[in-house]
Structure 1
């Protein structure tokens, strides 16, 4: 017997909170309910054992009679990460983070093309969410996962405005016959994540003969981190700057903030802002934060929710970035064991949006008087370009799989002791949009290698966006 009122969101939340601090096993093992038939995803077990209903294909919310539009139940895994005591996020200080994006519902390309925002099948699924955050631990049976926090949650109006714009961007691509070009990086909070049993799965789309990857609507992991953080501790504990108002998009607001400084030299901007940033390597990043009125990008609410990264760059006289754009160092073992669609690189290219703050170098010397703010641009990698990055990743994957029995890592060692690798450099035939190069403090700064090698570790490397490719993108 389940004791809660299916028409009351408060009653549903109160009943759900009985699982806080406990696992399914803690509450239901004594009833003998955990048999073979109950094995499966945690969400299904919560629905069946705790709330007393079976999973179904109904497009309505899980509790359709509750509230004005129903309540949708979602279980959300939390993972342990390294504690960051200097973070402004309470969860990061305590070493917690949402493990993955929150998948809402599968996208029907044909149906979505005919829908309007005010009357679509997504809205009922996100209007009122019952979020049940649990602690994920690899190797642990799902019935033993402990629930950390349970709460009803309504998407704030300013967030819903962004989600509406995200939804419209996805719909526009479908209307143009470009469903096969959809990328999670296209949007800020609401993603269209791949939802397929294998990387070869494809489905039909309207307005085009090209088949597209099956996708589902999801709230991005970075956004869910913010949701979890706000529920974990009161929002008043946070000191963040919200850039957005209800009248302007994030892109418009950023353009509006930086517009007064476009065309000014760095030293002139410093003078106007009444700051002296010194000459550290990060002074352009600090300058961008000063213009936005924050201590760091981590203090910008919308950037955190959308997973936006600030990148400052200097252009030479030909309009090409002086340096290629680096991504974080990669894990050699992950390269070997992953497949393309589940790789760190694919996830990063699909989900990360960049805010480029671009400076022209107008003189020979690297001084503040020789750098002028040219423009700003919000950018994500187009889906077709992500596919162009795939051959470079596959080349690295093959090198890690073959190990010393294949080409190995080191191609030759020069007379000066410099090691030349088989990694696809910028000049490599496959390196159309990205390449691989070192990303270490020195030769001793290494990462572990897979057991296919007789060396234990090798100098840290990372994928880099080609500077000429970035030049094309910022001028597009």
Structure 2
């Protein structure tokens, strides 16, 4: 019976015994339904620990004060500095307990269900898959056998000091003081919305390490709160995926690379009086424009001792941002311990003479066929916008067009830093105008997108579509995600480079789920502009909407 696990040592010792075993080896009698989404957790909790399924406010092992969590880890390979880097990543965010808005109302941190239930977590992680196989599995090209999932790690994750712990501590993670302060700040932000009777405005992107993720069976359920008749979406406390990733790769596996990923916050005491966001923004404020001084890129390069031959504005901006945040030089994107764990998305917003220069791309569309199988509540777009926090770095480009050309000069003396701002999309915009555009445009793809063939007086062909056009009201839109438009299936073309001929894959199109409805397409163009393929597209936010979000910096 589970009452034998009445101490944290007994819970953890049992967890360590599971390492190396497959779920099929643990559930030898096939007592659990392998097709159930909760199969791994059910096998560990109900078979390995002989613990009944419950949904109580107490930790799973109440006498020991330990909550049990069973989660997947995957293998991911990415290119970094022209090398292939493989590491293990969390397969999903670590979902904790459901937030009862009524019970959490006006509770202190120490009284909260989050603290009561999760201050000590037995985290059991099983190896699931290589991320490159995900699409094949979803397309049924590969059949995934859950019984072969193997327990890789068992770690006691603690937010309290374990001075009395009677087992070796090499499988224990005590959350650092700095991380704990950020988690506490996140909880206070969630709590303040509940206490203000504004739980409907909660989103995962509001916070850094501890989130309030959506939590319901259908994604369209609603619950109640104190002091308001507005029904908010059900949510649960969760540790964000990237936060767990850093724990896995820094402390669980033991491949500690904390020295190579530097920190913005060097002194934990700074977090006692300021939020993480305020600390990061404070690094930029000395370079904000004043009546006496406006900081150009050249001024920043000179002041920060940046030497570069780079012509790319993005690379130059990244170098400036790294220097301001006191981070080491790197060819990769700007990152730090805090940026990695909170998964901030750094985005440079460039104005042209004080007005928006371009729309704001945030997510590619890898497959139209898969897109039309989603529903809005569980869509990739809704999930991304709900959980993502952007760090917007704003520059104003006063360069003129090159003489006789349509392109602009890139003189760093004429590009000025405006300011920095953390921003996440309000829930009312996500589940209001974004939802309306998403549902309408996905419906067009599902039933046949309308494409209009046009040709200019110079003979240049342009294809128009009937996706919703961007505006202040229509903040979300679909637009091309390739420099060269392609409306036929991917093919190889022979090109000559450095005197040598080579095959190049022309892969700027994606298959449509329903034949397109063409207007004015000549018969002889049917092969080049086919019914079944469309140029690669992405999801964008309108530049006018983004401009609204940074008005406080511009004015």
Change (3 A) 1:241 1:474: same
Q: 1:34 aligns with which of 31, 35, 38?
A: 31
Q: 1:426 aligns with which of 470, 495, 513?
A: 470
- Report the Cα distance in structure 1 between the residues aligned to 2:450 and 2:319, rounded to whole angstroms: 38
Equivalent residue, structure 2, for 1:152: 156
| Higher relative helix content | 1
Q: 1:94 aligns with which of 86, 95, 109?
A: 86
Change (3 A) 1:214 1:366: same
Tell me if 1:79 matches 2:123: no
Equivalent residue, structure 1, for 2:498: none
Equivalent residue, structure 1, for 2:484: 442
**Structure 2 spans left out of the alignment, 5+ residues:** 130-136, 138-142, 159-174, 290-294, 401-408, 486-505, 516-529
Q: Equivalent residues in 2 for 1:9-20 (5 A)?
A: 9-20=8-19
Equivalent residue, structure 2, for 1:412: 453
Q: What are the Cα deviations for residues 379-417 of structure 1, in whole angstroms up to 9, with x where unaligned? A: 1111111122112211221122113xxxx2423333421
**Structure 1 spans left out of the alignment, 5+ residues:** none
Q: 1:140 aligns with which of 144, 153, 157?
A: 144
Instruction: Tell me how many residue pairs correspond in the alignment.
Output: 460
- Report the Cα distance in structure 1 between the residues aligned to 2:205 and 2:96, rounded to whole angstroms: 17
Determine if contact 1:336/1:400 at 8 Å carries over to the other structure. yes
Tell me if 1:330 matches 2:365: yes
Q: 1:204 aligns with which of 212, 221, 224?
A: 224
Q: 1:163 aligns with which of 158, 172, 183?
A: 183
Tell me if 1:243 matches 2:264: yes
Q: 2:307 aligns with which of 265, 276, 280?
A: 276
Q: 2:284 aligns with which of 220, 238, 258?
A: 258
TM-score, structure 1 normalization: 0.89
Change (3 A) 1:87 1:431: farther
Q: 1:466 aligns with which of 542, 548, 552?
A: 542
- Report the Cα distance in structure 2 between the residues aligned to 1:136 and 1:450, rounded to whole angstroms: 31
Q: 1:119 aligns with which of 83, 87, 111?
A: 111
- Report the Cα distance in structure 1 between the residues aligned to 2:324 and 2:189, rounded to whole angstroms: 29
- Report the Cα distance in structure 2 between the residues aligned to 1:35 and 1:448, rounded to whole angstroms: 40
How big is the alpha-carbon RMSD for the aligned residues of Structure 1 and Structure 2? 2.6
Determine if contact 1:413/1:420 at 8 Å carries over to the other structure. yes
Determine if contact 2:214/2:234 at 8 Å carries over to the other structure. yes
Change (3 A) 1:297 1:156: farther
Determine if contact 1:167/1:190 at 8 Å carries over to the other structure. yes
Equivalent residue, structure 2, for 1:21: 20
Equivalent residue, structure 2, for 1:56: 54
Deviates more, 1:161-170 or 1:374-383: 161-170
Q: What are the Cα deviations for residues 351-401 of structure 1, in whole angstroms up to 9, with x where unaligned? A: 111111111234535321111211111111111111221122112211221
TM-score, structure 2 normalization: 0.77
Change (3 A) 1:27 1:109: closer
> What is the Cα deviation at residue 81 of structure 1?
3.6
